[in-house]
Structure 1
């Protein structure tokens, strides 16, 4: 192992790439609205939506500016959070690993430059759209560089069993969604949520720190994959399991976000649309399901499908395939029109 470059201090980068007071105030208002939804104070639904990975600044800003227009038209029913995922977990450790590793999609990794790019893209998205963002916390130390920008965090299927990620989630100031592991074991996810709601003393970035616990940590259902077989877990069976095991006061906000992509899409990105339709029907049929499900997570971009990392199609994913803008617009309008917010 070689030591290459010393990373900047988080506060140094935050001072150099600041957010405005106006932006900070708007984020506070959105943070409160998201908390109210998860706690059941507000009946609105959360939609976390965007490309699988954020790889190109111009197309990302184009995409979120379109989301902002939709947000204004559906603001009475939906709260839209742009999915700005800047680090890409790789099952086999190869391929495009996200803006953090490859800020210019090049093969030469420059993590110091990547951290700056990560902070810049979150700031630019918020400035462009006034929609504060979501990111996956793949590397715990990176969180500190964007902690003042994120309005939602997720812990992925491959890291939800990590003690370090669970303890970090207990010190994060915004809601944290815990995904079920790729095995599909919901008890692992519930244990992660429970752990993250507790206060902890831990080692973090060269310090001994004390966390307060995160009362807004909650479940994300993303399906499972065992021996190459994809299986959904967004059915009434899984909701009944959570109804039985996911209760207050042990769990402070027994809420669920359903990731309609990944294994829930069964290998076909267009299945995201049908998953949304089916979930809305379930929520409209069963009040308790509607109260449990606080929102959806959708992989969407400007163009349908995916391309190779060096592809030149504007607004098309270079990782997992996404639904394109026309389908996205129609889907968001249908969600807003058809979901009975009770």
Structure 2
């Protein structure tokens, strides 16, 4: 046989009963959700910063990182709302390599998705418990989000998934902001089509059920740069790119027009140290154009305790990425205070 069943996974409700979200944390998350919603609807002028590792590979280092974020978040809360990036699913261009904590709760061991769904639920709850910061994750597998839908405050749909029908329709049933990245080709119309789909109601099959959704008015765009047919990176965070997107939004008449700028990936050409400079340019573009100030709601940054990246192996550096390279904490901290000063 070409497919072998390893485990029958528990239903989401079963896992939630086994690893419940305490009432106090549920109330904390609801407060955070309201604050984030107010940014996307224009009721709040705070600036979003979604920041953290390329992939959450170790619960202790992720929680230590989130704890450092919390200290800064408290100091800049009048200007910024910081969301820890706790990405437990890692898309791979060729299918090779570490696919995230969902697949391998221990990167040194073989994949175990049953242990993985438990590990990622426990991690998101732990971050919220220890820091009071509800987190963001990527919706790599639409059906798996049901294991986390009560703990997340933000979700992103990646460049390789944004054209997928199931991702778009699932996003239409979410009650938190969901960011649609432009595809790797850089085509902005594909990204906006995904937002249109997510903002409308649908009826479809989800987890073996016939379901209806009401549409998600908080669905929005994420600019992450693109790659041309020769493999060259094409950034799309510059002033003219933002203006083009703003004009495209006006033609579509969507709810709550918004964009988050992903400062890494093809926008930085994978040059992770460029991220603070890109953030600074985005803030400058917002400063002198009121339409862009209203449109650009935040930035997304890849950062961890130690800068750079490493391979999985014996000489493991605690808090250093095992996927894409990330900013280190010192540079990240400086950048966060810079954003608060300039926003």
What's 1:76 paired with? Answer: 78
Shift of 1:181: 0.2
**Contact 1:248 1:254 survives alignment (8 Å):** no
Using structure 1 for the length normalisation, give the TM-score: 0.97
Distance in 1, matches of 2:232 and 2:330, equals: 30
Match of 1:319 among 310, 319, 323: 323
What's 2:301 paired with? Answer: 298
| Residue ranges of structure 1 left out of the alignment (5+ in a row) | none
Kindly report structure 1 stretches of 4+ aligned residues shifted beyond 2 Å. Answer: 247-250
Shift of 1:248: 7.9
SS at match of 2:320: coil
Give the 5 Å matches for 1:5-44. 5-44=7-46
Give the 5 Å matches for 1:200-239. 200-226=202-228, 227-239=230-242
Distance in 2, matches of 1:4 and 1:140, equals: 20
Distance in 2, matches of 1:285 and 1:266, equals: 26
Cα distance change on mapping 1:215 and 1:248 into 2, 3 Å: farther
**Contact 1:259 1:298 survives alignment (8 Å):** yes
What's 2:247 paired with? Answer: 244
Give the 5 Å matches for 1:68-147. 68-147=70-149
Superposed CA deviations along residues 201-235 of structure 1, whole A, max 9, x for unmatched, are 01111111111100000000000112321111001
The two structures, once aligned, show a CA RMSD in angstroms of: 1.0
| Residue ranges of structure 2 left out of the alignment (5+ in a row) | none
Q: Is 1:163 the counterpart of 2:165 in the alignment?
A: yes
SS at match of 1:289: helix
Using structure 2 for the length normalisation, give the TM-score: 0.97
Distance in 2, matches of 1:107 and 1:291, equals: 46
Distance in 1, matches of 2:304 and 2:326, equals: 6
Q: Is 1:333 the counterpart of 2:337 in the alignment?
A: yes
**Contact 1:137 1:155 survives alignment (8 Å):** yes
Distance in 1, matches of 2:206 and 2:121, equals: 20
Shift of 1:19: 1.1
**Contact 1:52 1:300 survives alignment (8 Å):** yes
Distance in 2, matches of 1:247 and 1:36, equals: 21
SS at match of 1:112: helix
What's 1:262 paired with? Answer: 265
Shift of 1:157: 0.2
Distance in 1, matches of 2:252 and 2:237, equals: 24
Cα distance change on mapping 1:248 and 1:176 into 2, 3 Å: farther
Superposed CA deviations along residues 264-297 of structure 1, whole A, max 9, x for unmatched, are 1122100101001111111112221111100000
What's 2:63 paired with? Answer: 61
Shift of 1:111: 0.5
Q: Give the number of aligned pairs.
A: 339
**Contact 1:85 1:135 survives alignment (8 Å):** yes
**Contact 1:173 1:214 survives alignment (8 Å):** yes
- Larger CA deviation: 323-332 vs 2-11: 2-11
**Contact 2:239 2:282 survives alignment (8 Å):** no
